[in-house]
Structure 1
């Protein structure tokens, strides 16, 4: 990509910077032909660009405060709704999940208990590297991330043993305002 020619102010500024360069120890400075001097009558104002607000992707993430996390770890908060995906095929489980999340959002639920079943424990529960059981659990993260309801999900956490432990997840929904 060819260099753009510098305007006179930029050229003068670059010349001042180039004069301050010293070679690294044991190296010598290769000098190009000096740029023609240009007089600058006023100093060049240097301003930091104003930061533009960055739209953060609204995906299930780590947006809970410490109080929520502490209550979930202790199991002291009860779920508003339970979605049990046991016995469904992958396709049917995905459809049920989408429908039930929509229902939970309409009801202004804050905490949904998502029962998925336990993940495979070891290699004896796998055939050709694929889990014999736990396929729904393995897919849940992607399903929630790409769900049409992803913007309503504040966080996903492991469930407390009294609510299913490793076989369940908490889906914390954002509070609806208005």
Structure 2
């Protein structure tokens, strides 16, 4: 990393000087008061005696301990085991099949995924690669104009955790950069 030239002014020096010109320094007496400690609080005014309204009788009840709600539409997160993912990334475990869902609508992609996984399980395959694509990140490179981050990419974990596919799949994980990165998923199938 290169060092900055101390004689060169920062690019926003004019802003700093404009802001610094609007600030008034603290007076010396005020500084001494602040250094001495907190200021004494004024005494509260004497309360005027007013009749208090009658309180209703208190009921005792027990409050159950808080349990965080689990959304019904959120899939159970079944991540691929780190050792298996590492072996797939390194090429020690072969990818038995690949399906590309680019350009398909949700219904078409879901049906194609069901057919593909059922065929691969029947064949005895263990590891497959599902390519969904990354989806759009932003419009015009402004973070304030974010769009939805890839429908197929978002829906794949939901589809894999549905009752038809859940017994066939043991886990899934985002693929490594060499296999498609954030636009692809490793899916590990159960033995039949």
Q: TM-score, normalised by structure 2?
A: 0.52
Change (3 A) 1:102 1:146: same
Tell me which residue corresponds to 2:191. 175
Deviation of the 1:152 alpha carbon: 1.6
Residue in structure 2 matching 1:61, options 74, 78, 82: 78
Change (3 A) 1:86 1:93: same
1:156 aligns to 2:141 (yes or no): no
1:144 aligns to 2:160 (yes or no): yes
Deviation of the 1:74 alpha carbon: 3.2
Q: Cα deviations across residues 68-118 of structure 1 (Å, max 9, x unaligned)?
A: 132134354331011110110111111111111111111111001000001
Tell me which residue corresponds to 1:106. 122
Q: Secondary structure at the match of 2:133?
A: coil
Asked if the contact 1:75/1:162 (under 8 Å) is kept, the reply is no
Computing the radius of gyration from Cα coordinates, the structure with the larger value is 2
Tell me which residue corresponds to 2:182. 166
Q: After the TM superposition, which parts of structure 1 deviate over 6 Å for at least 4 consecutive aligned residues?
A: none
Q: TM-score, normalised by structure 1?
A: 0.56
Q: How many residues align?
A: 116
Q: Distance in 2 between matches of 1:141 and 1:71?
A: 22
Asked if the contact 2:137/2:147 (under 8 Å) is kept, the reply is no
Q: Which moved more, 1:102-111 or 1:133-142?
A: 133-142
Aligned Cα RMSD in Å? 2.7
